Amino acid sequence: MKKSKKITIAIDGPAASGKSTTARLVAEKLSYIYIDTGAMYRAVTLKVLNQNIPVTDQEAVARIAKDIDIQFEKNNQKTIIYMDGEDVSDAIRTPEVDRQISPVAANPKVREILVKKQQEMGREGGVVLDGRDIGTVVFPNAELKIFMVASVEERAKRRLKDLENQGIQADLEKIKEEIRYRDLQDMKRSYGPLKKADDAIEIDTTDLTIEQQVEKILELTKKYIEI
């Protein structure tokens, strides 16, 4: 009988490529811990906005990142994100946070602080993390690295559906513009840019269901976890 070992699975890719849902379900199937790193940057952005601090004030935003308490709790449906004890799972995914997050995510001090928190959360292995620099910066030695991509059109449709499920009206063309802008900002930032690791396996999710995405990744894990 084969034994299994706990590994680190890094899933990177642009906004709305399917990372978060897929990563959560992969973690669930493997009984691993799921760490939504994008939600951490969103939580910092939300707190900054709530306190009327300009997102471009790097020092003030870094202080928020240092002091903020972010916790993840899994239930049967989704992962609940708590910011300083408050459930902000929906609040961090509003169009306003989408528009304001880029300067926060590009802030070198914020990234340094949150990367350390992420590394501490995942230091024992048995984790699935998703983001934009997991395989290149946070866990460059992760055993399995995935880079998920999808067309702008498909990603915009997914984002629109998410917003509609929250009761938020949005325009598909505007969402496309915001996604293109976010991609550009993520790729050109100096610290932890969106980048495919040299040893990452690319998965195009444009025509894949969530179930198919999960199955592909679970199949890839077999050669790493069975010893």
Would 187 be classed as within a structural domain? yes
The answer to whether position 113 is within a domain reads: yes
User: How many domains is the chain partitioned into structurally?
Assistant: 1
Token digits for 220? 């890839």
Q: Is residue 2 part of a domain?
A: no
Tens digit of each residue's pLDDT (9 = 90 or more) over 28-69: 999 898 998 989 999 999 999 999 999 999 999 999 999 999
Residue 222 maps to a domain: no
User: Does residue 3 form part of some domain?
Assistant: no
Residue 217: CA count within 13 A, CB half-sphere: 37
Tens-place pLDDT, residues 122-146: 888 899 999 999 999 999 999 999 9
How many residues appear in the chain? Answer: 227
By the 10 Å C-beta count (0-12 exposed, 13-18 middle, 19+ buried), 81 is classed as: buried
Q: Position of tokens 């709790």?
A: 73
Question: What are the pLDDT digits (tens) for 164-191?
Answer: 988 989 999 999 999 999 899 889 888 8
Would 221 be classed as within a structural domain? no
The residue range of the domain holding 207 is 8-212
Whole-number Å distance between alpha carbons of 105 and 182 = 10
What gap in Å lies between CA 49 and CA 154, rounded to an integer? 29
Tokens 């198919």 locate to: 212
Residue 77 pLDDT > 70: no
> Residue 91 carries which DSSP code?
G
Q: The domain spanning residue 24 has which CATH number? A: 3.40.50.300
Residue 226 lies in a domain: no
Residue 225 lies in a domain: no
